Every structure is written in structure tokens, then in C-alpha cells.
Structure 1
Amino acid sequence: MSKNELVSLSSVEMRRRIGTKEISPVELLDACLERIEEVNPAVNAVTAMCVDRARKEAKAAEAAVRRGEDLPLLHGLPTGIKDLEETKDLLTTYGSPLYRDYVPGYDNVMVGRVRAAGAIVVGKTNVPEFGAGSNSRNPVWGATGNPFNPMLNAGGSSGGSAAALATDMLPVCTGSDTGGSLRNPASFCGIVGFRPSPGMVAVERRAMGWTPISVLGPMGRNVADVCLLFATQVGQHDSDPLSFPLEPEAYAEPWPVDLGSLRVAYTEDFGGAPVDKSIRQTFREKIKAMKPFFRSLDKVDVDYGGADRCFDVIRAVSFLSRYQDAYTNNRKMLGPNIIANYELGAKLTLADFAWAHGEQTRIFRAFQEIYKEYDLVIGPTVGFSPFPWKQLYIEEMDGKKLGTYYHWMATKYFVTLTSNPAVSLPCGVDSQKLPFGLQVIGRFRGDGEVLGAAHAMEQAFKTNPVLARPLPNIAKLRKPVPALKSIVTHPPKLNAKVAKGPAPGAL
């Protein structure tokens, strides 16, 4: 098998072949490192790396296979960790000049669980500054380009992970999601992103532990890969008051679902989210193509009420809690997105906060009413086609100015407010011949069911050219695009040895 064929395998198939000794972890790591060297200059998805340690771990993983040991779920799989997650002895910048030399002395809970499952951490994946925004560019590492056109946005904030997966640089990558950071880059890059129910994956760095809008979760090239990673991430931890006991093995494979039995509701804009005319038309074409797969597929009205203001307030309060010290002492070192969120929070009153939580509760209860009649809700993941990475965000739609830098993400943050689990599933291309993502939203706490449904849809879509997952042209990406790093103003010191920066949980 050639190296190109090897890296294009799913992580599930890679893991199977490692267990049967058909491939070795060392061979797999070498193939991934070669692909990173060839393609990463074009998309700038992988940032700080720890190659020497990865090689040692791959040799140890190979030896364990030879000894016939019981192998964990991710044994020997090269892995990328989103650069918002602390990784022991590996540079963790959060995309901020404030932490351009920060090398943690510990793995956070999620990273520790992924490592314990046998993953070999190769490096970090790019993000916007502190994960704020859906364009993975920052002054430390530069911008991540879309694998289908490197001059376009890869999405964010898990854009580096999405691009690394789409280009077969790494088979396993982690992500996180507040207003769509797992779903938006998955849609833009043609992979699968899953926002789990709050509490499924423990989040120790959440500043306000009882506020469920921010979650950690998996990404993958297909739903089975997502399930494999998800099973290693889930479970209770004392650092997260929302987490609860789970049986990880229950999520290691997609649950069986009969598409023909499903009653599915669909919406073009979730009751008022910005969705471009061309995306609406594309979505209608997808609906027509997939309708025969389900028992029923009906358009529904979604009442999201004051969702925009509600999300503004809850998000801003979270930023106020997390970044007060940085804003007070190092405002000049912060980017415009962080400053905008913090200053909005500083103007809010307790009455605003109380209203927002009350409105979120109303939105949650109204959304659950749909599931009395339907099994799933589907809609566009993103209301816009990928746009140039030099454009920080979408400012207007159809001549009308949007409200905030993240208003164009409303198709996702409306769903965030409900706390229902949601998958972004690759679903062909849009009118620009760029990846189109279908957002598949399950019942409250129905994580296994929605992943199973998404897997069944994925299998049905494979043979339909309108719905099948698109693939980037890797050959074209072997020519680097230096402009991707043009906004770098604070390059990190890659030889940093001493841990500096926040105490555990400070971010």
C-alpha cells in the first residue's frame, strides 16, 4: 500500500489494520508526517509539533502490538489537538500573543483521555485568537486555508482540525464548539463535526461551569471515525459540574438506525438566521434528493424568539468572566473579537443576564416540542459559502448589514441555545462547487441516536452525486501559499522549555 493510500484510510480502518498487524504505528506516523510536510504549507492547519516524542510513542505502540497486548481504541493513531487545549510539554498558544511561548506542564482532562486511549499526539491545530470567531486566523500562526481553495476560509474555531482531517494529514483531530466551532469548519471543509450534549465530554476550562453553551467534541472524515474518538472523550470529571457518568463503549460505533422509519423535519433558516439565497436554493435541491430515504420529510416553522440577543448576552457574560484580567492589563495585545465580546459584557446588567437565561429556557422548551412529532430536525449548517480568509467575517447578506461579527453563524448558535446534539454532515457541494454541510439535530440527550441517524444518512448519500461527500484535490495543495502566514505578528519561540502562562483552568 502506498503512503497516499494509507493516509486516506478512515481512522477506524487504520486502527483495525494496526490490530491485525497489517500496518504499523511507525509506518502510519511516517506517512502522516510526509503528508504534513507536503500539504500543510498550503493550508497552514498544523501548528506546533512534537515529532521526536511522537516517533518514540509510535515505536512503543508498535512494540505493544507485537507483544499481543490489549490495545485501546485509538492505539497508534496520529492525532492533532486543537490549540485551545492544554498539552503537556507542547506549545499551547490559544492563538494569542499573550501565550505565544506557553508550554503547559500538564494535559487537560480531554487530552489526557485521548492519550490514554492510545492516540499519538503529533501537534496542535490552528484556531482564531482564543477561539473567538469562525475564521481560523491569528497573529501567532497566521490563517488556515480551505482545502478546496486555500485562499478561502476553513471555518472556525476548529478550522485547523477540519483542514488537517480533510487533507488526510492526521486521522484523528479534536475540536470544541460554542456558537458552531465544530460544525462550521466541518461544513466548510467537507468532513463531519459533532456538537455533543453538554456534559458528555468534561470541559475543565469552562470559566462558568454551570453555563452549557461551550462543549468539547470530536471531528472525523466520517461518522464512524467521529464515534471512535467520541468514545474516548466522554465521561464524568470533577472539574465539570455538568458532566455525568457514561459507558464509553456504548458510543464507540454508530448505533443502528433505519432511515425509512424516521420522521424528519427541515428548516431553511431556523426561524430567522441569515441564510444566503444561493444556500437556500442548494438546500432545496438536497431536500429533494434525500426525501425518498425517509418515512417523511416535512418543512416546519421554528420559533427562536429572541435567540440573537439571548446568545449575545450569554456569550458576552462568559467572555467577561474569562478575560477580565487580560482586558484590564493587556488590552493592546487582544484582537478585535475578544475586545468586542468583553465590552458588550461589561455593559450588561443583571436584568439582561436574567432575561437571557429565561429566554434560553423558553427556546429550549419550544424546540423540544418538535420532537413530539419528528425524530430529527435538519437544516443548512452554514448560511454562506466559504469566503476569503482575509475577510474576518460576513458583514451583510442581500444588502442588509448583520448585527455582530458572529451573526452569520446563527444557524448554529440557535441550536447551541437548545443544547440538543447536532452533527454537521458533508452533503455534496453548493453553487460555488464548495462543500455543503447538512446540520442534523437530534433529540435532547439523544447523542447516540443522532450519530446513528447521521451514519445511516452518510451511507445512503455515498451513491448519490448530489449528496456524497466531496474531496479536495491534494495534488493542487502541494504548492504552498505563503500568504496564509502574512498576518503573523507574534511568532512563537518553538524552543520554549519553561511553562509560562495561566494556572490550570484560568482560561
Structure 2
Amino acid sequence: MENIVNLSALDLSAAIHARSVSCLAVMEAYLARIEVLNPKINAIVSLREASELIAEADAADRALADGRSRGWLHGIPFAIKDLSEAKGIRCTYGSQIYKDFVPDFDDIHVERIRAAGAIIIGKTNAPEMGLGSHTYNTVFGATRNPYDVARSAGGSSGGAAAALAARLLPVADGSDMMGSLRNPAAFNNVIGFRPSFGRVPSLGNELYLGQHAVNGPMGRSVADVVTLLNTQAGYDARDPLSLPTEILLPDQRKDFSGARVGWLGDHGGHLAFEPGVLDLCRDALDVFRALGTSVADVPARFDMDRLWWGWRTYRHFLVAGGQGADYADPDKRSKMKPEMIWEIENGQRLSATDILAASAIRSDWYRYVLELFDRYDFLILPSAQVFPFDVTLDWPKEVAGRAMDTYHRWMEVVIGPTMAGLPAAAMPAGFGGNGLPSGIQIIGRPRADKAVLELAAAYEAQVDWLGRAPSIS
């Protein structure tokens, strides 16, 4: 069992297709590990009946025996983040309002994962409607960090990241509006990739306006992340803003000698960091220097308070639009967490002028970022401002002596790539003196997903952090 669950997704796929390990053995190994470890971290939810999964694994073996493979994920156990719909499996969105919802359809990227041969075993836990970078809800409870079960696994893809770290899944999907692929990657010592907007199509409710949230891959290797991304990505007419299909084949041995890296750090003191986090991330810059890049501090020349206002305005607007109908029902409103109500009520106070002003700020930020890319090929930024915190907290109220005035202010570090629609790879930066992991974002030019993944692969080859599995048992 240990050998199976420690394989990368690509190595597991190769072993299955070589018939050196059966789909049945793989399913049994993962189900056995989930049975032992999932009660300790609560990463996998809505787990399907073992008998059904064993039967599907057996059918996958018979198909291979007949020379029929559905794709690289053939027979591989996969759990979908509980913010995306998977046909026939309960999708709660972490909300009491939807705790009994069973969709009769797959979201687009889930269709593609299923079509590539994955056996969908259940869901991964997420916070209520994805709000907050800490995975807890009143339907399933909190997800705990495998490196310290008294700590948060981050969010909103916290269940996916914790499951990867604990070897409950070989690869996973996630989504990201405010760092939801990046923060949990940092908290759990795995990789999360936020693709360019439109790279992975979706059936989202705000097809034209929802230009902040994206679906994307998570894994324990860049190669796994790239392969899953290529499965998820590609044009689909149901998403009017989806990008043309482009198979990304990064050169995993690309020479980065002479590349220019810009370190954004704390945006000139604008951001508060828990002691140790910024130093750990800054130390990771030595890896880029070892690759032959030049590394320079980026002067802070944009009004980050203005960007934060623009971000908050957009966030209020989108949440109020998406959940306003539920809020209007007193019974449903009573089941919402305070942060959801706060977002909706602020959104309902906005004017069209406010939305236009936020759009202007976003445009100004985009132009500013383009100017930065005239001087730098890549930008580097921490993925989180704190180490994994007490799992019983709803959110950090203070960072380094500075009060956090909203439930998500402690994750402000992630809004820049979101507001500009940039690709960002969340990579591990090692472990602090407290033994807890943290991470960095490798940020690329607009739609330069391939280049970001190439640098991420080069970075990965220089460090051993991804091989440090948690000792949970």
C-alpha cells in the first residue's frame, strides 16, 4: 500500500498501464489509507460506498485487459473539490443550504477528468461557498493540516491540498479566486497552479462577469500538475470567455540563465507577515539565483490600498450577485456564516459607479504589471502571510501586531495575480523553525502559463521539500 500511495500520478498511471499494478489494488490501497487517516484530517467528504468503487476499479482492470484505456487517469482514484459539480455525488458547497444537493451533471473540467479515466470517489472539503482561506463549514467540520493536525489546512482547496499531502489522493483539482489554489499549497507543502483566466472553462453562474475565480490543478510534482491542467483546459463553447485549446508541453530542462526575477516581498511594507514567513520565502530566492537568474527587489510604486478597495468592491459585487437570492430567504440566510452575510450586504450597497471605479483600478493595476514585465521576466511573491494557524480559529485577527480588519485581509498577498488574471504557480519554500511549511508564488506574464510551469519545474528540481511527507499515521 505504501508504495502505491507514494507514487506520483504519472508514475501510477504508467504502472497501471504496464499492468504492474491493478486498478483494484490501487483503489484498495487508497481506500485503506483514507479509512485510517481521513478521520484525523477530514480532507475527503461524501466518500462513495467502497463496494461501488471496488466494482468500478475491477471494471477498469477488465477494460485494460481488453486493450481499452480511457486515458492517463484510467482507474486512478480522484476526489472533486466540493465547489464543483460531479454527477451523482452530493455537492454541498460547504453550505447547510445545499447539504442535500446531488447534481445530475458534471462541471466542464469534471467531465474531462472523468473522460480521462478517473474513478471519482467523492469530494474534497471546502469552506462555505469557498469564502475564506481556512477550510471549515457546518456540514463536515474543519480540515486539519497533515503536518500538524492542530493547524489549518488553508483554503478554499484545503481538503484537496491536505489529501495530497497525506497521500489520500495522487493528484487533485481545486479553484482559486483569492488564493484558494495557492494558500493551501503553501500550508500543505504541495503545488497549486492558478492558470490564466479562461484556460480552464467552467459552467459558472457569472459567465461574463466572473473573471476572478478559476479552476486548476494541484499535485506533488510539476509534471502531474501540467498533465492534469492539460486534461482540464481547452476551449468549450459553454464558457464564452474560454481560451482556444493549447496543449502545454513545458520544457522541464529549460535553461533560465539570464532570466530576470522580481521580488515583490511585502509590497514595500504594505503587507503584514507572521515572523519567519517572509524570511523563509526570501531565502527561496537563492534557488532562482542558483538557476542563473538575476533577482532584484521590485520598488513599490502602486497604491496597494487602492487595489485592496478595488478587490473588495469586486468581491462584494460577485458574492452578492451569486448568493443574493439565498440571502433574500430568511430561512436560508439563517444558515449563512457571518462572512457571507457581510459580503452580500456590502455588495447590495454598491452603485454602478462603484463597480466602474473598481474596474478602472483593475485596469490601472494591469497596466502597471505590464510595465513590471518590461523589466522582469517573472515576479515572486509569498503565497501566504502566516504559517498554518490554530484550526479552531475562524481566521487570524492579527498578524505581526497589525489588526486584520476583514476575514480575508490576512491573505491580501494573493490578490495581485487575481486582479491581473496572471498565471501563478504556488511552490513550496521549505519549513519554518516551527516545522510548518510555507510557499511562494511564481507569477508570469499574461497567458504565459507554459513559461511559469517551466520555471516551476526548474525550481522543483533544485529542492527536496516536496519529498518531505507528513508523519501523520
Q: TM-score scaled by structure 1?
A: 0.89
Amino acid at match of 1:390: T
Shift of 1:407: 0.8
Partner of 1:307: 307
Contact 1:74 1:229 in 2 (8 A): no
The alpha-carbon deviation at position 208 of structure 1 amounts to 4.9
Please give the secondary structure, in 2, of the residue aligned with 1:176.
strand
Residue 489 of structure 1 corresponds to none
Q: 1:199 to 1:418 in 2, by over 3 A?
A: same
Residue number in structure 2 paired with 1:15 = 13
The partner residue of 1:264 within 231, 248, 261 is 261
2:426·2:439 contact (CA, 8 Å) conserved in 1? Answer: yes
Matched, 1:382 2:381: no
Whole-Å Cα distance in 1 between the matches of residues 205 and 367 of structure 2?
24
Is 1:471–2:468 an aligned residue pair? yes
Counterparts of 1:180-329 in structure 2, within 5 Å, are 180-247=179-246, 250-251=247-248, 256-271=253-268, 272-288=270-286, 290-305=288-303, 306-329=306-329
Look up the match of 1:93: 92
Which residue of 2 is the match for residue 397 of structure 1? Answer: 399
Cα deviation per residue 1:202-237 (whole Å; 9 max; x = unaligned)?
121242533311100000011111111111100122
Q: TM-score, normalised by structure 2?
A: 0.95
- Give the drift of 1:261: 3.8
Give secondary structure in 2 for the equivalent of 1:320: helix
Structure 1 stretch displaced more, 250-259 or 278-287: 250-259
Q: In 1, Cα distance between the equivalents of 2:423 and 2:135?
A: 23
Preserved CA contact (<8 Å) 2:95 2:129: yes
The alignment covers a number of residue pairs equal to 467
Q: State the Cα deviation string for residues 130-153 of structure 1 (Å, max 9, x = none).
A: 111111000000000001011101
Distance 1:173 1:277 in 2: 31
Distance 1:200 1:206 in 2: 17
5+ residue gaps in structure 1?
463-467, 479-507
1:65-80 equivalences under 5 Å are 65-80=64-79
- Point out the more displaced range, 313-322 or 409-418: 409-418
Shift of 1:35: 0.7
Structure 2 gap ranges (5+): none
Could you tell me which of 446, 451, 454 is aligned with 1:452? 454
Q: Which string of whole-angstrom CA distances, capped at 9 and with x for unpartnered residues, describes residues 95-118 of structure 1?
A: 111111111111121111110011
Give the aligned residue type for 2:172: C
CA contact under 8 A between 1:429 and 1:470: conserved in structure 2?
A: no
- Letter of the 2:168 partner, please give it: M
Q: Name the counterpart of 1:134.
A: 133
For residues 58 and 261 of structure 1, what CA distance do their matches in structure 2 show? 49
Q: Deviations over 1:226-275 (max 9, x none)?
A: 1111111001222322102213xx22666542132422111212452332
- Residue pair 1:25, 1:62 contacting (<8 A) in 2 also: yes
Secondary structure, aligned partner of 2:334: helix
After superposition, the Cα gap between the structure-2 partners of 1:289 and 1:110, relative to the gap in structure 1 and judged at 3 Å, is closer
Alpha carbons 1:166, 1:471 under 8 Å: kept: no
In the alignment, the residues of structure 2 paired with residue 218 and residue 394 of structure 1 have an alpha-carbon distance, to the nearest angstrom, of 27
SS of the equivalent of 1:333 reads coil
Kindly report which structure 2 residues correspond to 1:476-491, keeping only aligned pairs within 5 A, or say none.
477-478=472-473
CA distance in structure 1 between the aligned counterparts of 2:327 and 2:455, rounded to whole angstroms: 44
Partner of 2:112: 113
Q: For residues 276 and 366 of structure 1, what CA distance do their matches in structure 2 show?
A: 28
User: What is the CA–CA distance in structure 2 between the aligned matches of 1:393 and 1:98, rounded to whole Å?
Assistant: 22
SS of 2:163's equivalent?
helix
Q: Corresponding residue for 1:488? A: none
Residues 435-444 or 294-303, more deviating: 294-303
CA distance in 2, matches of 1:254, 1:341: 42
Asked if the contact 1:128/1:138 (under 8 Å) is kept, the reply is yes
Contact map agreement 1:264 1:378 (CA 8 A) in 2: yes
